[in-house]
Amino acid sequence: MKKLLYFSAPWCGPCKHLGPIMEELQAEGITVQKIDADSNPEICQSFNIRNIPTVILQSNDVEVGRKVGLNPKNIYVELYNQN
């Protein structure tokens, strides 16, 4: 099963713009799991998150792709469809 892990924080400006894009993707049937970087530092460390927003594509719980920073919606659709 594929899913997007969306690492974000309430104070992050780009994250505020990416949030609605992630909600759109979720409404279109893509599984998106939002992870608050401030509340989950151990998860961020395990995924080696250096900057937010970061979106990781997992397939069967294995990372198969990653995008860092704010990107247009089509970039995340392409990421999701790559595998």
Q: Which positions are catalytic?
A: 12, 15
CA 64 to chain centre: 12
**How far is it, in rounded angstroms, from Cα 21 to Cα 39?**
22
- Name the residue among 67, 64, 63, 43 with its Cα closest to residue 54: 67
- Name the residue among 68, 65, 60, 5 with its Cα closest to residue 35: 5
